[in-house]
Amino acid sequence: MKKIKNPDIKAVIFDLGNVLVNYDVQKAARRFSKAFGISRFAVWKHFFLSGYEQAYTRGEISTPEFFRAACRQFNKPLSYKLFKYYWNDIFWENPGMDALLARLKEHYPLYLISNTNAMHFTHIKKEFKILRHFKRKFPSHEVKARKPELRISAGSSKRSVSGPRRRSLSMT
């Protein structure tokens, strides 16, 4: 197999969702719809159109606050364990990415930038081995910014690639 080293590239930056791991948020929406007895659109509207998920992904609200807000909004109790299962059971590893990361890691430092909330990131760290390849990770809930906001890109670039003529390769 041919070597992949390019001296002009000093680091490789990856996104997580639908690059390293695939996901299907509709799976969660279907389950929450059934559990709360409401339409999938109402679930979608609360989680993805109302700002709760963006605030959670930015780390502006905690996991317990996110959970309580959903139960309040849908006016129906749901155990935290079941909520967490529905919220997290949407991911599967993109085949071949672990091997690719292992190979790239031999030649370049790898960095991760991702719009990821605390519950998802904890789940992915526990369930998938791919994060072990990264020199540094910049999940949005820790950086307190989401892509494409400049703060997330500037913060990670500054910490990963330094020096005047250094370049990074981004895989998003």
CB 74 within 8 A of CB 46: yes
Give pTM, 2 decimals: 0.85
Residue span of the structural domain in which 153 resides: 9-22+92-171
Q: What is the pairing mode between strands 9-14 and 110-114?
A: parallel
Long-range contacts of 149-153 (CB under 8 A, 24+ apart): 152/113, 153/113
Q: Are residues 112 and 160 in the same domain?
A: yes
Q: Are residues 103 and 129 in the same domain?
A: yes
Question: What residues have CB less than 8 Å from 9, skipping those under 6 apart?
Answer: 108, 167, 168, 169
Q: Are residues 83 and 139 in the same domain?
A: no
Q: Are residues 106 and 43 in the same domain?
A: no
- pLDDT tier at 147 (50, 70, 90 boundaries)? confident
Tell which residue, 46, 53, 59, 19, has the closest CA to residue 152: 59
| Token pair of 30 as six digits | 């279907």
- Please give the torsion angle defined by the CA atoms of residues 57, 61, 67 and 68, in that order, rounded to the nearest 10 degrees: -150
pLDDT number for residue 168: 47
Residue 1 lies in a domain: no
Question: Lowest-confidence range among 40-49, 58-67, 77-86, 105-114?
Answer: 40-49
- pLDDT tier at 158 (50, 70, 90 boundaries)? low
pLDDT of residue 29 exceeding 70, the answer is yes
Q: Which residue has the tokens 């780390």?
A: 59
Q: What distance in Å separates the CA atoms of residue 42 and residue 40, rounded to the nearest whole number?
A: 5
How much is the average pLDDT of 33-39? 94
Q: What distance in Å separates the CA atoms of residue 168 and residue 171, rounded to the nearest whole number?
A: 10
pLDDT number for residue 8: 87
Q: Which of 62, 88, 114 is the last residue of a domain?
A: 88
Question: What residues have CB less than 8 Å from 170, skipping those under 6 apart?
Answer: 12, 13, 14, 15
Q: What is the pLDDT of residues 76-131, one digit of tens each?
A: 889 999 999 999 999 999 999 999 999 999 999 999 999 999 999 999 999 999 99
